[in-house]
Amino acid sequence: MRPVAVIGVGMTKFGEHWNEGFRDLVIKAGLRAIEDANIHGEEIQAGYVGTMASGRLVGQEHIGALLADHMGLTPIPITRVEGACASGGLAFRQGYMAVASGMHDIVVVGGVEKMTDLDVAEVSDILGGAGDQEWELFLGATFPGLYAMMARRHMYEYKTTAEMLASVAVKNHKNGAKNKYAQYQNEITIDQVLKSKMIADPLKVFDCSPITDGAAAVVLAPLDIAKKYCEQPIEIIASAQASDHIALHSRASLSELYATKVAAKHAFEQAKLTTKDIDVAEVHDCFTIAEIMAIEDLGFYKKGEGGKATLDGKTALDSEIAVNTSGGLKACGHPVGATGVKQICEITKHPVNMEKNSRKI
């Protein structure tokens, strides 16, 4: 396997795009990434695009062919990747493996979702398909309810408080206020979170990520030719993936993300690093409890200490580890298929881990 680098990134603003359609968003992000990479379209050899539910949200399937057509990239292969909220991240991993294996040299990876054309109830039902449709969604357990159960169990086991959950939202809104691509660029207070409308006890409106339109894209190349295109390529030093039981009732614990623990272990082993070497992290905060569990299961904090660490400011900018500097899903927004690629775009902007004029993620 050969080393791979990110040589270009591009995004749209995340939010409600009433005057732009699904294809408009992903084409805009893709063209921005291609321009940023200083490549020509004919140099691209393959593409991967993450989208969770375009068929139900906008009625469009066969996304790979659609994008190849409208970006003028035919006849190169473009493959759609679906993995619920991980769709964009998995598309990135597929692109990484395609370049690392030597099958392709220049690969573009995108992520997109157009969600705001439907009402909240319809979107919630569609997103519920990312869980166990037969044993959870059919019986009324949408994701706010599932994560509320996780939050309640975490509170019971580790004395996590509503204020700790709220501190995640407050921190991420503070970061989002600095991000021109974020859906919400306003700061909030813990008191505002605690007084917001209850969605699924203990999760309130401000504990939940919004419904969002948006797209993001990156361009990948072998590290040995990356400097032909950009002065400071971002080397990818590890990528890992794992799975767990899809239904919450089948999992060993309601208060941990087992797949995250397994994938993190493999990634750190590949990179030959420990959690102490990490300066910045983008994690999945679809709900505030999700970020707390993520920073614990990634190994940044011991189990049960993530909430207190956040409340104490240890995950803020310029702290022990800056988490969700983009504003996370909570403030930047969560166009499901685009989120994983957006996280890569954000990480590449941080001047960290400088070594021999290259950066590593």
The set of catalytic residues is 85, 334
Show the beta-strand stretches assigned E in the chain. 4-11, 46-50, 78-81, 107-113, 198-200, 203-204, 214-222, 234-236, 280-281, 322-323, 359-360
List Cβ<8 Å contacts ≥24 apart for 259-263: 260/293, 260/294, 260/297, 260/298, 261/297, 261/298, 261/299
Contact by Cβ (8 Å): 87, 52: yes
The alpha carbon of 188 is separated from its chain's Cα centroid by a whole number of angstroms, namely: 22
Check residue 291 and report its DSSP letter.
H
Contact by Cβ (8 Å): 110, 67: yes
Closest CA to 5 of 278, 360, 253: 360
Taking residue 335's Cβ as centre, other Cβ atoms within 10 Å add up to 33
Check residue 252 and report its DSSP letter.
S
The helix-helix angle for 288-297 and 143-158 (nearest 10°) equals: 60
Q: How far apart are CA 23 and CA 336, in angstroms?
A: 15
Task: Name the token pair of 314.
Answer: 């240890």
Phi and psi (nearest 5°) for 57? -80, -40
Interstrand relation of 214-222 and 4-11 (parallel, antiparallel or unpaired):
antiparallel
Helix (H/G/I), strand (E/B), else coil: 147:
helix
Asked if the peptide bond before residue 3 counts as cis, ω within 30 degrees of 0, the response is no
